Amino acid sequence: MDVKTPALSPEPAPEPSQRPLPDKAGWRSEAPARPSLEEVHATVRVPSTGHWVRRLLAFAGPGYMVSVGYMDPGNWATDIAGGSQFGYTLLSVILLSNLMAILLQALAARLGIAADRDLAQACRDTYSRPVNFMLWLVCEAAIIACDLAEVIGTAIALQLLFGIPLIGGALIAALDAFLLLLLMNRSFRFLEAFVVVLLIVIASCFAIQVVAAAPPVAEILGGFAPSREIVTNPAMLYIAIGIIGATVMPHNLYLHSSIVQTRAYPRNEEGRRTAIRWATADSTLALMLALFVNAAILIVAAAVFHGSGHTEVAEIGDAYRLLSPLLGLSIASTLLAVALLASGINSTVTATLAGQIVMEGFLRLRMPMWARRLVTRGIAIIPVIAVTAIYGERGTAQLLVLSQVVLSMQLPFAVIPLVRFVSDRRKMGEFAISRAWAAAAWIVAGVIVILNVKLLFDTITG
């Protein structure tokens, strides 16, 4: 398949004042062999002057594309299970994971803008070949786990809305590669607009449901306060780590460090500093939207299911069947399915781009996007079809939650290199983060590692 990409005029050699960094001693090479996502690199114009709103809107887009991964179908299973079983208690975990996400995505944007490298290219330019190969395998596993959640979510949405069997819906989901090709063929800005429209649909669906559920505000506020029971209760901890795995997505760190480079900001010190500021604002605002959506899913599950004694609801299909009767709003179940379909479609965009970035960054291997999408989606479809055929719908729901725990287990392999790079002054020069921010970032990385070790220990010991 021949995919047209926007023609890019060759850029002149950078002047000394426009070099990526004043000191490149920390990297093996002056610059990567090819820019990250070369076909759209520096294609989105940004104004250098004018009202701050115009400049923010020019940089707005990458943050919302990243936020897609923080409200994908994998989040739904963990949020619904957490809300129905434990009420509002796990809202504190959603808030904590969202704060972690805001910090880590800001660091990913800083790396991409300041170093002219995405996270995969930075790893390749720092670590040995065996280490890079291991990191690539781990990241591919995370992308496949994420894609698995998207396949299941899209298949469930198609079944709920149109009665299509899960296996048929999974096969239909494989065809979304052509949707992405169509969007990328228009422009990267058009792709961002498509993503934002679907995000608005998702947020609107849940806003209506929250209003209809009328949850008690005091209990919601109490749920945002941390509880010791989250750590001491193995069942609650399992869901909590699933929420963290579904919220802080490892492939999003690779994605964000790449797509921020689509902006045509001046490649000099002042231009980079400004770009980092606006890119951080973009991702922070976008992730606040993700916080609202994830919290809304759990709040609706807590108010409708936990509040009525249906604490066993952990599957999206059960939530769909019970939501309208229990909530007393006939359109509630349809809104849930529409939001789920929009989420599944949206998530395909970020997973595909992340897969391309990871493959090109670690291996310098370029594959047509349609081929990359079909390969990744094909690998994800196999376990869905097998589990559905053997265990039915309940098996796919458990597989959905498990995929998010797998994602959480991959997080340290993306977070630790990222924090190491952005806190290294030899690599980042004046753009290295301060000691205070480095301490906060290492604390986040430590929390992720400790929670994963705790989960692994509990799983092994039963």
Record the tokens describing residue 440, joined without a space.
């906060």
Confidence of residue 404 (pLDDT cuts 50, 70, 90): low
First to last CA, the chain: 50
**Residue 408 or residue 169, greater confidence:** 169
Confidence of residue 153 (pLDDT cuts 50, 70, 90): confident
| pLDDT recorded at residue 373 | 64
Record the tokens describing residue 416, joined without a space.
């630790």
How high does pLDDT run on average in the chain?
A: 84
**Residue 313 or residue 21, greater confidence:** 313
At 217-268, the pLDDT tens digits run 999 999 999 888 888 888 888 888 777 766 677 888 999 999 999 999 998 9
**Residue 215 or residue 364, greater confidence:** 215
At 102-131, the pLDDT tens digits run 999 999 999 999 999 999 999 999 999 999
Q: Are 179 and 345 in contact (CB under 8 A)?
A: yes
| pLDDT recorded at residue 16 | 38
| pLDDT recorded at residue 1 | 42
| pLDDT recorded at residue 380 | 63
Confidence of residue 357 (pLDDT cuts 50, 70, 90): confident
Q: Are 407 and 415 in contact (CB under 8 A)?
A: no
Return all residues near 432 (Cβ < 8 A) that are at least 6 apart: 422, 423, 424, 425
**Average pLDDT of the segment spanning 181-187:** 75
| DSSP three-state, residue 44 | strand
**Average pLDDT of the segment spanning 302-330:** 89
Q: Are 21 and 428 in contact (CB under 8 A)?
A: yes
Measured between alpha carbons, how far is 379 from 394 in angstroms, rounded to an integer? 21
| pLDDT recorded at residue 103 | 95
Confidence of residue 10 (pLDDT cuts 50, 70, 90): very low
| pLDDT recorded at residue 453 | 72
Where helices occur in 175-224 by DSSP H, the ranges are 177-186, 188-213, 217-223
Residue whose C-alpha is closest to residue 100's, from 249, 223, 295, 226: 249
Residue whose C-alpha is closest to residue 150's, from 334, 287, 345: 345
| pLDDT recorded at residue 29 | 77
**Residue 197 or residue 363, greater confidence:** 197
Confidence of residue 372 (pLDDT cuts 50, 70, 90): low
| pLDDT recorded at residue 460 | 65
Q: What is the pTM of this model?
A: 0.86
At 23-60, the pLDDT tens digits run 455 788 777 768 888 888 889 999 877 788 888 999 99
| pLDDT recorded at residue 302 | 94
| pLDDT recorded at residue 71 | 83
Q: What are phi and psi of 436, to 5 degrees?
A: -65, -45
pLDDT over 90 for what percent of the chain? 44
Residues 433-459 as b/e (b if ≥16 CB within 10 A, e otherwise) read beeebbebbeebbeebeebbeebeeee
CA 353 remoteness from chain centre? 12
**Average pLDDT of the segment spanning 199-206:** 94
Measured between alpha carbons, how far is 292 from 307 in angstroms, rounded to an integer? 20
Weakest-pLDDT range from 136-150, 211-225, 278-292, 296-310: 136-150
CA atoms within 13 A on the CB side of 145: 26
Q: Quote the Cα angle for 376-117-142, to 5°.
A: 30
**Average pLDDT of the segment spanning 157-186:** 80
| pLDDT recorded at residue 230 | 87
| pLDDT recorded at residue 459 | 60
| pLDDT recorded at residue 24 | 52
At 424-445, the pLDDT tens digits run 999 999 999 999 999 999 998 8
